[in-house]
Amino acid sequence: MEYSKGTIKQYFHMPIKQATKELNVGIATLTCNCRNVGIHRWPYRKLKSIQTLIDYLQVENGGAQPEKNKREILKELKEEKRQMEENSNIQLAITTRQFRQCHFKAMYEKQKTPRLKHAREPVWHQDSGCSRSMTGVKQYLHKYIEEPGPKVVFGDNSSAPTKGYGSVNCNDDEIGGSKWEKMME
């Protein structure tokens, strides 16, 4: 079924899968139809990104009248969104891309800082020799001993099914185990 560019534009505000359900066609059919009418990429993600920036600027002011430069940015973003809805093939302006990058970086930093407040020194667990590596996750270990600090252990547990993988202790510079002895010869 053939759709006009005007009909397809009405669905730009939703993901392509949702648009195909609304139009009752397959993704390949809609994609082919879009190419025939001159739409090379589905613009939902660009439009959503611009709308996120617009919402951020409006919420940041709490509904109050924004400052002069923020009003100009808001006006430019709305104009760019309108142009994107008219012609989906245009690129985002460089200033919009830079603003978007700064905004997402600020949001990432905002999310990251609460996690750093509660960060502590990682606790490594001595494994039983089964996994042949260190792990910070208790549930993957058969038997574990909590060891804070820089001690590194690679097996060397007599009760483990795999024996003789040796151990390295960074604190005492101790190396032991049959495999380590063979390697040192």
112 with 127, same domain: the answer is no
pLDDT of 50 above 70: yes
pLDDT of 102 above 60: yes
d(CA 71, CA 121): 46
If you average pLDDT over residues 75-100, what whole number do you get?
A: 92
If you average pLDDT over residues 156-184, what whole number do you get?
A: 46
What per-residue confidence (pLDDT) applies to 110? 85
What per-residue confidence (pLDDT) applies to 53? 92
- pLDDT tens, residue by residue, 129-160: 555 555 555 555 555 555 555 555 555 545 44
Q: For the whole model, what pTM was predicted?
A: 0.57
CB atoms inside a 10 Å sphere around CB 153: 20
23 with 74, same domain: the answer is yes
79 with 127, same domain: the answer is no
109 with 25, same domain: the answer is yes
Residue 76, Cβ density class (10 Å: 0-12 exposed, 13-18 middle, ≥19 buried): middle
Q: What percent of the chain has pLDDT over 70?
A: 57
> Under DSSP, is residue 121 helix (H, G, I), strand (E, B) or coil?
coil
102 with 129, same domain: the answer is no
* Average confidence score pLDDT of the chain: 74
Query: How confident is residue 124, by pLDDT bands cut at 50, 70 and 90?
Result: low
14 with 98, same domain: the answer is yes
127 with 113, same domain: the answer is no
Query: How confident is residue 2, by pLDDT bands cut at 50, 70 and 90?
Result: confident
31 with 10, same domain: the answer is yes
99 with 130, same domain: the answer is no
What per-residue confidence (pLDDT) applies to 1? 76
Asked which of 97, 117, 137 is the last residue of a domain, the reply is 117
> Under DSSP, is residue 68 helix (H, G, I), strand (E, B) or coil?
helix
Q: For 79, phi and psi rounded to 5 degrees?
A: -65, -40
For residues 43 and 178, which has the higher predicted lDDT (pLDDT)?
Answer: 43
What per-residue confidence (pLDDT) applies to 170? 46
Asked which of 69, 86, 117 is the last residue of a domain, the reply is 117
99 with 37, same domain: the answer is yes
Q: What residue numbers bound the domain in which 147 lies?
A: 123-184
98 with 155, same domain: the answer is no
138 with 84, same domain: the answer is no
DSSP letter at 131? S
pLDDT of 175 above 80: no
The total number of structural domains that make up the chain: 2
Phi/psi-derived region of residue 129, left when phi > 0, alpha when psi is between -120 and 50, beta in every other case: left
If you average pLDDT over residues 47-60, what whole number do you get?
A: 90
Asked which of 117, 134, 153 is the last residue of a domain, the reply is 117
